[in-house]
């Protein structure tokens, strides 16, 4: 897929991985729809960078609310005929044990159901050619990679990874779905984390450092441009899975 002039929607694009992906796609001359939930200032910063090399617009919605998802797409359809690439990046993590029902509910809606509902709206849009979905999962969602302190997050990232493969059986060749499973990635989410924790996570990689958000963004561009890649989950973790400490 030549991204020049294509329209892409990146959810959770106000900071971190989402921001980096939005900017990288704009550098390929795609028109970027910058979604945010609460961080409007961050989204405006992303759009300002996007606007220097391409075009785009801001779109707000709480993706845990199906009505707001419907309103998001209704608003987009007023000015945009279709969306060529969807990047499901929005979501955060909460620690929890198996008995924490509130965490199960939150992570289900925040990580998995939101991506399902956004994808459903995306697939329903009119289209004249190939379109793509890129889901951002996690090494915690990889087989044997789950983090017991983040049980629910791990489980629903695994579900999102499964969706990224299985959905192709009904959506391809019209819509191709893939995923990226980042490892420990340098984003604002780590701000305030204890120094010893950050150092331990860096040591848990084979490269001795965190993955950069722009490195994840480069993988997203590769997936968007490569039409032969179907139903794959690309692990980008600096070798953490090889080290065996994920």
Known catalytic residues are 153
CB-based contacts of 202: which residues, under 8 Å, 6+ apart? 184, 208, 209, 210
Best CA proximity match to 149, nearest among 224, 76, 74, 94? 94
Q: Give the helix ranges, DSSP H, for 54-194.
A: 66-77, 101-107, 114-124, 151-166, 168-171
DSSP 38: S
Place of tokens 């919605």: 61
Sign of CA dihedral 218, 222, 225, 231: negative
Q: Which helix (H) or strand (E) holds 179?
A: strand 175-182
Residues 104 and 159: their CA atoms lie apart, in Å, by 13
Contact of 187 with 16, CB cutoff 8 Å: yes
Dihedral through CA 54, CA 59, CA 64, CA 67, nearest 10?
Answer: -130
The sign of the CA dihedral 105, 109, 112, 113 is positive
Structure token digits, residue 34: 């910058």
DSSP letter for 108, please.
I
């Amino acid at each position: 897929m030549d991204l020049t002039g294509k329209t892409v929607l990146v959810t959770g694009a106000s900071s971190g991985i989402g921001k980096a992906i939005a900017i990288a796609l704009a550098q390929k001359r795609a028109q970027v729809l910058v979604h945010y939930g609460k961080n409007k200032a961050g989204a405006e910063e992303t759009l300002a960078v996007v606007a220097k090399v391409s075009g785009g617009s801001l779109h707000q919605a709480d993706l845990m609310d199906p009505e707001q998802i419907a309103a998001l797409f209704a608003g987009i359809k007023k000015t945009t005929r279709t969306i060529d690439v969807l990047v499901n990046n929005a979501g955060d993590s909460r620690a929890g044990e198996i008995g924490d029902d509130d965490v199960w509910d939150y992570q289900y809606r925040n990580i998995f159901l939101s991506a399902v509902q956004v994808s459903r709206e995306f697939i329903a849009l009119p289209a004249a050619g190939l379109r793509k979905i890129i889901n951002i999962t996690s090494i915690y969602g990889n087989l044997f990679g789950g983090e017991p302190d983040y049980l629910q997050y791990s489980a629903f990232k695994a579900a999102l990874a499964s969706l990224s493969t299985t959905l192709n059986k009904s959506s391809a060749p019209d819509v191709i779905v893939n995923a990226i499973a980042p490892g420990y990635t340098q984003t604002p989410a780590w701000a305030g984390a204890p120094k010893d924790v950050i150092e331990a996570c860096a040591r848990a990689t084979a490269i001795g450092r965190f993955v950069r958000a722009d490195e994840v963004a480069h993988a997203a561009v590769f997936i968007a441009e490569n039409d032969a890649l179907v139903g794959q989950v690309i692990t980008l973790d600096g070798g953490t899975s090889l080290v065996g400490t994920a």
